Chains A and B, each alone.
Chain A
Amino acid sequence: MYLADQIRFNWQIFVRHRIRTGLLLLAVGLGVASVILLTSLGEGARRYVNQEFSALGNQLLIILPGRKETTGGSPPIYGTAPRDLTLEDAQALARIPSINAVAPVIAGTTSIAVDSLSREAIVLGSTPAIFQVRQLEVSQGKILPDRTRSEAMAVCVLGAKLKRELFGHDRAIGEWVRAGGRRLRVVGVLVERGESLGMDLSDMIIVPVRTAEQMFNTPGLFRVLIELAGNADLPRTEKRIKEIIRERHEGDEDITLISQDAMLASFDNILSTLTLAIAAIAAISLLVAGILIMNLSLISVSQRRREIGLLKAIGASSAQVRQLFLGESLMLVSLGSLAGIIFAWSVVLVIGRIWPVFPMAPPWWSMPAAVGTALLAGLVFSWMPARRAAALDPVLALRGQAGQG
């Protein structure tokens, strides 16, 4: 019997039993689509995090004040320090040859006002190095002047959104804003950019680090961002940084170093595992589809008893009958999978259109895994009905009576 003949034969059955076929296609299609869609969400989250990290620049090292003694747990973003990490510490680190740039950061919130317009905003106290490290650019004006590396100055750079809200379409460069009781002259406006690691940079004001120290009355840095030279040896640089801090902090190594790679790797790990787990959960729907296939196939076998008897009488062997029924299931599952894949991809594309920030895409393994699981479920669950059909006694089947197994 030719494959083409079998496909046509099964196709005629599908056309004849449209509702049954439709339901099965729906069940298989939804199962496959849910596996692909859910894994796409997981993969999207992973890519989103990757993308955010690479937006930070390639070789980034973050120093937090205070030491996290335990491993595991959440990343020590808000460690408390026994000894402050100071601007002088940061300047000392800048002398390590394998370090390109050091950007000390003091962060706080205060109200920013222009005339009677006032808004709460995050203040980022830093040096011109922050523009290099975080890859920030100004669309108007300049970045912080070089003098602000070590001196307080009454200047600031506004985020694009903050500028819009305070000045509208008016010119902001050269104007004065009041921030935490100080008057600062606007020297630049940042290029419009999306979020970066959850911080909306367009909603910030960047001031000289010394100015921020005075503003918040603290000598301690919130963190230090370090950009490594392209050929830097990460472990050796880390060691150098710790040595310098130990010297400056009377023998205490009270900082935490987070390399971008380490952070990225652990996020990547978590999200990949999560995606796999989600896929396994979604695969349950394929199992349900398989059980549906089994039930409907069993009904189909008993309804088509006479036909099976006839096929045997006119020369079909048991193997051929089994093959026909298994083939029917496989064909159904293939069609359902195809429908599911098409549906899932359209959803992914539509979501990509309306939410372009989130890079939703199925991981490479999700489609073969979904279709493979569907085919396997189809095969396993139609095995019993197919065997029952193949074992039908043609004589009894032709009379429309119960077979004897």
Chain B
Amino acid sequence: MIELQQVSKTYLIGETPLRALREVDLVAQEGEYISVMGPSGSGKSTLLNMIGLLDRPDSGSYLLDGSHTERLPEEQRARLRGEQIGFIFQSFHLVNRLTTLENVELPMMLAGVSVRERRTAAQEVLAQVGLEAWSGHHPNQLSGGQLQRVAIARAIVMKPRILLADEPTGNLDQASGREIIAVLENLNAEGITLLVVTHDLNLGQRARRQIHMVDGRIETDISAEAGAGAKYVPG
């Protein structure tokens, strides 16, 4: 479903160009569990943003379900983002003035779903991440692990097929991190395609497919049968 062909992206950091992606080829099937690892500046976040349609390639193609996305107008890319892709960020990015429930409803509100429908859907996914009792709270009343679970609820409320997580445990303590990973892997087990970008080797090695990036290139791409069932020890 995800197919990158010879994708390149260069950023200008001040005067000096930074080649974040160099002719990257990547094919991912529905329901895969992929981790992307690599040092800082190796291009792993750029890869994630590219797949998440937040960024456009300078050259090369990105096919989602067999159709080209790189030349789609911004409106359609935004709609695809809303419907097909869920994002999870290291720093949660919840809107502080909104309640938990309203934060989860946000993508549906933007998509123009009616109040009653999205309330039901939001409560459902909040129950799924174990936070149904917290729907009226504001983000500043929740712990880090809870915040990330709200963020996950928000990412899956539109029932996307791809879940992109950028260092999802980066701001969490061990116990919360473990919880979050369990939630994400459960979602993957139910069929969602999960792509996790991380520094954390322990987390990265849990994925069935592990990609290492160096200098904007995919260095290794290993499909392992490890991971599932092994105990996660954040490091």
Contacts and interface: CB of A to CB of B under 8 A. Distances in A.
Given A310-B93, A398-B93, A317 B74 contact: yes
B54 A12 contact: no
Interface size class on chain A is: 20 to 34
B75 A317 contact: yes
A313 B82 CA distance: 8
Interface string B146-171: 00000000110010000000000000
Contacts, number: 69
Given A317-B74, A318-B74, A395-B54, A13 B107 contact: no
B21 interface: no
Contacts of B229: none
A261 B49 CA distance: 77
B54 A307 contact: no
B22 interface: no
Contacts of A309: 93
A21 interface: no
Contact of A316 (B87, B95, B98, B110): B110
Contacts of B52: 313
A311 B155 CA distance: 12
B17 interface: no
Q: In the complex, which of the residues A4, A16, A317, A318 has the most CB atoms of chain B within 10 Å of its own CB atom?
A: A317
A314 B97 contact: no
Nearest to B93: A310
A5 interface: yes
Given A313-B54, A314-B110, A320-B110, A395 B49 contact: yes
Interface string B35-62: 0000000000100010010110000000
Contacts of A310: 93, 95
Interface in B110-141: 110-112, 114-115
Nearest to B107: A314
A395 B78 contact: no
B93 A315 contact: no
Interface string A294-307: 00000000000011
A310 B151 CA distance: 11
A4 B89 CA distance: 29
A306 B93 contact: yes
A9 B154 CA distance: 17
A315 B111 contact: yes
A320 B78 contact: yes
A290 interface: no
A1 interface: yes
B139 to A, nearest CB: 12
A317 B78 contact: yes
Contacts of A316: 78, 82, 110
Contacts of B106: 311, 314
B171 to A, nearest CB: 14
B83 interface: yes
B102 to A, nearest CB: 8
Contact of A315 (B49, B81, B98): B81
B95 A314 contact: no
B109 interface: yes
A128 interface: no
Nearest to A316: B110
A4 B113 CA distance: 12
B111 to A, nearest CB: 6
Contacts of B154: 314
Nearest to B118: A5
A92 interface: no
Interface string A312-331: 11111111100000000000
A315 B107 contact: yes
Nearest to A324: B110
A15 interface: yes
B79 interface: yes
A319 B75 contact: yes
Contacts of A9: 109
Contacts of A307: 93, 95
A315 B98 CA distance: 18
29 contacts: A1-B110, A1-B112, A2-B114, A4-B115, A9-B109, A13-B97, A306-B93, A307-B93, A307-B95, A310-B93, A310-B95, A311-B106, A312-B54, A313-B52, A313-B87, A314-B82, A314-B107, A314-B110, A314-B154, A315-B79, A315-B81, A315-B111, A315-B158, A318-B75, A318-B78, A319-B75, A395-B45, A395-B49, A398-B89
Interface of A: 1-2, 4-5, 9, 12-13, 15-16, 306-307, 309-320, 394-395, 398
7 tightest A-B contacts by CB? A315-B82, A317-B78, A16-B97, A314-B107, A310-B93, A317-B75, A313-B87
Interface of B: 45, 49, 52, 54-55, 74-75, 78-79, 81-83, 87, 89, 93, 95, 97-98, 106-107, 109-112, 114-115, 154-155, 158
